[in-house]
């Protein structure tokens, strides 16, 4: 199977990967397929170019952004030329892990599904963590975070984590894992007073300030939300904004382009 065909199959089956194509230089059209686990097939014409392309591919496949990239690399033994490449990305729908089988989690699941995300609900309390309560969740796991992640798979750079319970035992168990994972986004509900106490506990457990800066708490954008549905919208809005590297402000106040234009 050609690298292009393998890339097409990866997209069809919901996999993650990057296909790098040389646009100019000694071998225009040469391709390198990079998988999420780092394995590769094909070549762009030199080991140096393959290594540089793999670095770009690994970064972009987790930010889920296709992009034209320019590199100044050795294309032949005699000369150095600028070698633009295009990195084409395929990725599965973004994954959202919701810890806490609370009512708001059900509304977040519904909104997440509508937005193309795949939500999961985790809570060790089996009487609350039921399929009936969360029909829009991909899976509902009645287990502690470490056990649940052994079932669902580790937190990767494309995973967002939202802690929706107010129980310090569950909060802390989740955050001890999430804050030392490559999660794209980590947020936790709770008042500012609850957040201050949470920070004290995490600092006491050995976390550094720079690690805690990864956590968004209180979770959600300032929408003035009152109902559970509005609160869910606030939560998912921040998570979506973070996925796209945005702050979540009003479009009317944005300077320049509203939508990113690929390089």
List CB contacts of 255: < 8 A, sequence separation 6 or more.
none
My answer on whether 101 and 154 are in the same domain is: yes
Q: Is residue 106 included in any domain, yes or no?
A: yes
Q: What is the pLDDT of residue 71?
A: 62
Band the pLDDT of 76: cuts 50, 70, 90. Answer: very low
My answer on whether 197 and 73 are in the same domain is: no
pLDDT, tens only, 78-122: 444 546 889 999 999 999 999 999 999 999 999 999 999 999 999
Band the pLDDT of 209: cuts 50, 70, 90. Answer: very high
Q: What is the CATH number of the domain that holds 205?
A: 3.40.50.720
Domain boundary among 59, 90, 121: 90
My answer on whether 100 and 216 are in the same domain is: yes
Identify the three-state secondary structure at position 88.
strand
pLDDT higher than threshold 80 for residue 201: yes
Q: What is the pLDDT of residue 249?
A: 84
Band the pLDDT of 258: cuts 50, 70, 90. Answer: low
Q: Is residue 256 included in any domain, yes or no?
A: no
Question: Domains in the chain: how many in total?
Answer: 2
Band the pLDDT of 253: cuts 50, 70, 90. Answer: confident
d(Cα 106, Cα 144) in Å, to the nearest integer? 19
- Between 144 and 63, residue with greater pLDDT: 144
Domain boundary among 64, 90, 116: 90
| For residues 231-241, average pLDDT | 97
Q: Percentage of residues in the chain with pLDDT exceeding 90?
A: 72
d(Cα 210, Cα 225) in Å, to the nearest integer? 29
- Domain containing residue 44: 7-90
Question: In this structure, is the dihedral angle defined by the CA atoms of residues 64, 12, 162 and 228, taken in order, positive or negative?
Answer: positive
Tokens of 107: 């509304």
């Amino acid at each position: 199977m050609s690298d292009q065909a393998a890339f097409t199959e990866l997209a069809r089956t919901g996999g993650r990967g990057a296909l790098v194509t040389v646009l100019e230089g000694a071998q225009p059209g040469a391709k390198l397929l990079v998988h999420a686990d780092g394995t590769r097939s094909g070549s762009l014409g030199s080991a140096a170019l393959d290594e540089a392309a793999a670095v770009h591919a690994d970064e972009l496949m987790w930010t889920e952004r296709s992009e034209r990239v320019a590199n100044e690399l050795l294309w032949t033994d005699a000369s150095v030329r600028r070698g633009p490449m295009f990195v084409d990305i395929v990725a599965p729908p973004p994954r959202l892990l919701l810890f806490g089988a609370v009512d708001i989690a059900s509304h977040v699941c519904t909104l997440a599904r509508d937005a193309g995300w795949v939500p999961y609900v985790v809570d060790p309390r089996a009487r609350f963590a039921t399929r009936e309560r969360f029909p829009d969740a991909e899976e509902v796991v009645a287990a502690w975070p470490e056990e649940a992640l052994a079932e669902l798979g580790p937190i990767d750079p494309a995973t967002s984590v939202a802690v929706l319970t107010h129980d310090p035992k569950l909060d802390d168990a989740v955050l001890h894992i999430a804050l030392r994972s490559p999660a794209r986004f980590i947020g936790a509900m709770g008042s500012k007073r609850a957040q201050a106490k949470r920070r004290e506990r995490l600092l006491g457990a050995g976390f550094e300030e720079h690690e805690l800066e990864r956590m968004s708490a209180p979770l959600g954008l300032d929408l003035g939300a009152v109902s559970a549905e509005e609160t869910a919208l606030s939560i998912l809005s921040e998570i979506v904004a973070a996925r796209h590297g945005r702050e979540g402000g009003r479009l009317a106040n944005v300077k320049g382009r509203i939508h990113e234009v690929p390089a």
